[in-house]
Structure 1
Amino acid sequence: MTTEATPLPGTGQPPAAQVRRVTDDLLRRTEHRLRSFLTAERTHRAAVDERAATAVDALSTLVAAGGKRIRPAFCIAGYLAAGGDPHDPGIVAAAAGLEMLHVSALVHDDILDDSGRRRGQPTVHTVFSELHQTRGWQGESRRYGEGVAILVGDLALVYSDELMTQAPPALLTEWHALRSEVLIGQYLDVTAAAEFCVDPQLSRLIALIKSGRYTIHRPLVMGANAAQRPDLAAAFATYGEAVGEAFQLRDDLLDAFGDSAQTGKPTGLDFSQHKMTLLLGWAMQRDEHIRALITEPGHTPEEVRARLLDTGVPHSVEQHIAGLVERGCAALAQAPVAPAWREELTAMAVRADRRTK
């Protein structure tokens, strides 16, 4: 077993440029795999009934709308940092499967959060609700739209598994853990919102389970395992959980203070859905009046934002994010990967921390 993965031999490029080049190439191939898979599936379903293809079209639209592709990126990075063969189509299938799972989660999340926009476009349940209403179909438009979106999200979940059957078998244990874990994290998130009790420890646990492990930790380890490097699991777990939690906390700040034109989705959803984020938990510990601003009618998101700023908690969360990123990157210091990959993973952590969408 090798202990020091090296970047691909390039054409005179420095190691960092080689790393970026091969990563970008695999991400392009992942994008092509996603779109070609959905195109073939649409053709297959349309041959039965054109209406059946509409569900596939909804997924194709969401995939084509873009997104950060952060889970495929970290899976690919873990694989290449571990010395994996970039020409193996299995890692492309794995990366595509991760993104398809994420698409499933997004469709279902938008129902749970009653969100009207995703990636700058109407959400799936909104599109089908409006279709039902416009055409004057039988039944309730909202119920139809949400029912169809549940099925579309489930379809993406099935597709993610189909793609993953073409991935290296060594990553499947981690894949199964990731899938069940994110659903448990979502359940805890919904339950904590219903209870709406101040529990920063629970808020951090939810951020870890539904984002830290799902977004970065497990995709990284899946990549390393696909390259037959289970020895990297410990370092990647420490890095991934810390940077992944920072990623979720940045999401919380963007929901509270971001620009919906940049994020592609409505801001203030955590307020309206009573999400017990670490931001809100810490703020309510400092100012009990914030609970009333969120739970009682007649208050605007602007009032909540102003009160949050008065507590100083957003700055505290920023400091916590910086500490998490520092801790995560420190875990790479002794990891048996090439220096160019330590630099790339550090850069990826910083990009996740400083993003604006």
Structure 2
Amino acid sequence: MANDAVAGSAIRVAPARPGDKDDPIRAVLAAYTQDLITAVDDTLTTFLTAEVDSLAEIDAAMGGFAASARGAVLAGGKRIRPTFAYWGWRGAVGGTEPLPPVLPALAALELLHTFALVHDDVMDSSATRRGRPTTHVAFAAQHVAAGHRGDPGRFGEAVAVLVGDLCMVWADRLLAHATVSPARLLEVRRCYDQMRVETIAGQYLDVLGENDTANWSIDRALRVARYKTASYTVQRPLLYGACLAGVSADDPLAAAYTRYGLAVGEAFQLRDDLLGAYGDPAATGKPAGDDLRTGKPTTLLMLARQLATPAQLKALDRAGERRVDRLAELIADTGAVARVERMIAERVGAALAALDAAPVDRTARTALTGLATAATNRRA
């Protein structure tokens, strides 16, 4: 499944370009790991082609369904999770171990990510993802175009749930293609399973928060960030990569990855909160202000309520009567945006301090330093 560029583990590493006008994380990923991203995409394409062909033998309609699931996986994305997993592995093994044996395990994280995104879009009733109709919206449109009976929206949501489920099964199946010892693969599976459990826990808390805002707090909003985002975006992928390298849970490197991963992951979600309110839809691929429109209790909104004057708090309580752009201005006026920016900077600083003390390969240290900044200072 690997291409010639990754016959070994010598992924190209170049210094990030400080003056790059593109999205910072894209620039850093391109500088540090373009060969890896290409290898992950090639691995996914090869694997998914065989899977779609197999399902098409059941029924012609299944072929179309599976192809749509494949499209959801391959339709862009930064490949952040495989990237952090790679550097978690590389930080432990150095630059001499071959990559192909662990490449399927790295690519499997992208299938897990697609499962989470497709289900999340259904739960949030999101219309677009990466500038395209979300999976449930696309299938609802297919329902209408085909002239089927029944509720198109309900059909789209039901099929999207199945697409997500299929991606979860595909992730398990691709992970099994990693050619490491059975004992090591069992440890990797334990880390992978914990990542999945924590992701679902964080997602449940996210859903609960939207329906129980009276009992929500900044601490609970940060807990959502920790489990919904930090765990499966940075912390667990790093530890997963370390497991692939044979690093035990009590190793100092695992402890450093945990501190780094939680800090960067939380900062990543805090940046998401800001982008959800103030991001450019052309860059994010999603409408601006969705979280504000629904009153989702993000850390940003919880801080705004804590910092607001009585008059501002009264205005926030009438959020549903206000235009999103005016609400965004009101939140900024409370000082919440500046506070979130400081929280991001503090977490990046903590992550880099954890990395400084870690027994990590020098090249991996350079890449993880760049990724900590890029992942938390981005436009999409």
Please report the TM-score for the alignment, with normalisation by the length of structure 2: 0.86
Whether the 8 Å contact between 2:307 and 2:335 is mirrored in structure 1 is: no
Structure 1 equivalent of residue 303 of structure 2: 282
- Select which of 315, 330, 335 maps to 2:353: 330
What are the residue-to-residue correspondences of 1:1-357 with 2, within 5 Å?
23-83=33-93, 86-167=97-178, 168=180, 169=185, 170-197=187-214, 198-230=216-248, 231=251, 232-287=253-308, 288-294=313-319, 296=320, 298-357=321-380
| SS in structure 1 at match of 2:356 | coil
* Aligned counterparts of 1:112 and 1:267: Cα–Cα separation in 2: 18
Whether the 8 Å contact between 2:13 and 2:31 is mirrored in structure 1 is: no
Q: Deviations over 1:309-330 (max 9, x none)?
A: 1111101100110010010110
1:86 Cα offset (Å): 4.8
Once the two structures are overlaid, the 10-residue window that deviates more, 172-181 or 47-56, is: 47-56
Q: Deviations over 1:266-288 (max 9, x none)?
A: 22121233321100000011232
AA aligned opposite 2:212: E
Cα distance change on mapping 1:253 and 1:179 into 2, 3 Å: same
Figure out how many residues of one structure are paired with residues of the other and give that number. 346
1:255 Cα offset (Å): 0.5
Cα distance change on mapping 1:10 and 1:228 into 2, 3 Å: closer
Whether the 8 Å contact between 1:194 and 1:274 is mirrored in structure 2 is: no
AA aligned opposite 1:191: L
Whether the 8 Å contact between 1:26 and 1:86 is mirrored in structure 2 is: no
Whether the 8 Å contact between 2:305 and 2:316 is mirrored in structure 1 is: yes
1:9 Cα offset (Å): 9.6
* Aligned counterparts of 2:14 and 2:337: Cα–Cα separation in 1: 38
* Aligned counterparts of 2:307 and 2:30: Cα–Cα separation in 1: 44
Cα distance change on mapping 1:333 and 1:126 into 2, 3 Å: same
Whether the 8 Å contact between 1:107 and 1:152 is mirrored in structure 2 is: yes
Cα distance change on mapping 1:226 and 1:9 into 2, 3 Å: closer
Q: Deviations over 1:136-186 (max 9, x none)?
A: 211111101100101111111111111112234031111010001100100
Cα distance change on mapping 1:350 and 1:54 into 2, 3 Å: same
* Aligned counterparts of 2:261 and 2:306: Cα–Cα separation in 1: 28
Cα distance change on mapping 1:253 and 1:16 into 2, 3 Å: closer
AA aligned opposite 2:339: S
Give RMSD over aligned pairs: 2.2
* Aligned counterparts of 1:353 and 1:154: Cα–Cα separation in 2: 29
Whether the 8 Å contact between 1:235 and 1:335 is mirrored in structure 2 is: yes
Cα distance change on mapping 1:9 and 1:64 into 2, 3 Å: closer
Cα distance change on mapping 1:21 and 1:291 into 2, 3 Å: closer
Cα distance change on mapping 1:147 and 1:286 into 2, 3 Å: same
Q: Deviations over 1:110-156 (max 9, x none)?
A: 11111111111111100111111222211111101100101111111
1:80 Cα offset (Å): 0.8
Whether the 8 Å contact between 2:226 and 2:262 is mirrored in structure 1 is: yes
Query: Kindly, what percent of the aligned residue pairs are identical?
Result: 40
| SS in structure 1 at match of 2:101 | helix
Cα distance change on mapping 1:195 and 1:207 into 2, 3 Å: same
What are the ranges of 5 or more consecutive residues in structure 2 without an aligned counterpart?
Answer: 1-7, 17-28
Please report the TM-score for the alignment, with normalisation by the length of structure 1: 0.91
Whether the 8 Å contact between 2:260 and 2:352 is mirrored in structure 1 is: yes
Q: Deviations over 1:215-240 (max 9, x none)?
A: 00010011011111232110000000
Cα distance change on mapping 1:21 and 1:355 into 2, 3 Å: closer
1:334 Cα offset (Å): 1.6
AA aligned opposite 2:276: D
| SS in structure 1 at match of 2:355 | coil
1:60 Cα offset (Å): 2.1
Cα distance change on mapping 1:127 and 1:226 into 2, 3 Å: same
* Aligned counterparts of 1:162 and 1:14: Cα–Cα separation in 2: 30
